[in-house]
């Protein structure tokens, strides 16, 4: 009996099933290939685009070799999987290091140097090629040490204190010259106070105290000299006054002598003019006043007495 459900014209059902199964596998492979292709495209696009951050420059490496170009800030396209970009910061950076050296008079000196710097933006690839990304520890630290040693050796220890600005300028110039040759621009150099040994510090303190004492003694001596000069001036003025007084008295004596020769009564006239009007309480025997008081004659006294008697 013929099967009514059997499809007409289908003589090999296994072959049809195989064809259907193969069609489904082919579709899956196409989908997978499309997905992989899309992912590869995304990856390639991602690897071909690089963004250089603000304050940085991009150093391009071509299969590890530094190329002669520097990428600025922003978006750039590179060859994926072949070129690589290393970002170098060109903003102001700070580096600080302790340094020690010997002065010209062989005193041990210690200080701390801090500097603000940045690398030359157009030479970022050269800096990376010759110094590497860790150029600060590689070149700046040794430069500070060497510059401090060479500069401090030009000064005596006391000059580092009294001529600090000059010593700082010498150290600053030495560091700037050395680093500029490596395409590193020095902006500012800061130097803390120079530190010396305890023995030298005590010696300097004693010298300062002695100098201050010397200045005090000088001031005291000047004060004494001023007083002495004042005394001399006063003595000279008093001497001149005495001389003037003596000359005046001498001239007066000469005038009196001339007057006595011309008028013997001049002394009596002078005494009367200088008399204060008071009589002495007593006069010694034989003493006479320098002028005679007027005395009435006896007859006048007698007549006056009689007149008074008659009136009574």
pLDDT, one tens digit per residue, over 132-152 is 888 998 899 999 999 999 999
| Number of domains forming the structure of the chain | 3
Q: pLDDT above 90 covers what percent of the chain?
A: 32
Same domain for 152 and 80: no
Q: Output the pLDDT for position 287.
A: 47
- CATH code where residue 120 lies: 3.30.479.30
Question: Among residues 67, 88, 109, which one ends one of the domains?
Answer: 88
Tens digit of each residue's pLDDT (9 = 90 or more) over 285-308: 544 455 555 555 556 556 666 666
Same domain for 94 and 72: no
Q: Residue 28: inside a domain, yes or no?
A: yes
Q: Residue 295: inside a domain, yes or no?
A: no
| Rounded CA separation 77/155 (Å) | 55
Mean pLDDT of the chain: 78
Same domain for 145 and 82: no
Q: Residue 297: inside a domain, yes or no?
A: no
The residue ranking higher by pLDDT, 9 or 193, is 193
Domain assignment of residue 71, given as a range:
15-88
Q: Residue 4: inside a domain, yes or no?
A: no
Same domain for 230 and 170: no
Same domain for 95 and 184: yes
Tens digit of each residue's pLDDT (9 = 90 or more) over 197-234: 777 766 665 666 566 667 777 777 787 887 777 777 77
Q: Output the pLDDT for position 20.
A: 55
Question: Among residues 221, 248, 263, which one ends one of the domains?
Answer: 263
**Residue 39 — very low, low, confident or very high, per pLDDT cuts 50/70/90?**
confident
Same domain for 96 and 42: no
Same domain for 124 and 165: yes
């Amino acid at each position: 009996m013929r099967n009514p459900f059997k499809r007409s014209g289908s003589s090999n059902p296994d072959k049809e099933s195989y064809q259907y199964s193969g069609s489904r596998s082919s579709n899956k492979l196409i989908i997978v290939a499309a997905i992989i292709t899309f992912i590869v495209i995304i990856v390639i696009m991602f690897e071909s685009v690089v963004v250089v951050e603000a304050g940085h420059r991009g150093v391009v490496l071509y299969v590890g070799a530094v190329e002669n170009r520097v990428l600025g800030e922003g978006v750039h396209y590179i060859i994926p999987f072949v070129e690589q970009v290393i970002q170098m910061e060109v903003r102001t950076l700070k580096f600080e290091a302790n340094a020690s050296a010997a002065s010209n008079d062989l005193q041990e000196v210690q200080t701390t140097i801090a500097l603000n710097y940045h690398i030359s933006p157009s030479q970022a690839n050269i800096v990376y090629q010759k110094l590497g990304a860790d150029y600060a520890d590689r070149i700046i630290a040794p430069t500070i040490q060497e510059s401090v040693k060479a500069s401090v050796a030009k000064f005596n220890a006391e000059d580092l204190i009294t001529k600090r600005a000059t010593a700082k300028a010498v150290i600053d110039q030495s560091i700037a010259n050395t680093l500029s040759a490596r395409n590193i621009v020095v902006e500012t150099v800061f130097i803390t106070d120079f530190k010396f040994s305890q023995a030298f510090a005590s010696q300097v303190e004693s010298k300062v105290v002695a100098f201050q004492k010397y200045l005090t003694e000088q001031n005291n001596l000047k004060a004494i000299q001023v007083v002495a000069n004042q005394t001399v001036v006063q003595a000279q003025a008093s001497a001149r006054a005495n001389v003037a007084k003596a000359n005046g008295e001498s001239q007066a004596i000469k005038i009196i002598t001339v007057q006595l020769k011309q008028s013997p009564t001049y002394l009596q006239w002078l005494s009367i003019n200088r008399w204060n009007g008071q009589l002495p309480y007593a006069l010694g025997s034989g003493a006479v006043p320098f002028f005679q008081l007027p005395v009435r004659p006896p007859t006048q006294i007698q007549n006056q007495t009689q007149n008074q008697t008659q009136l009574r």
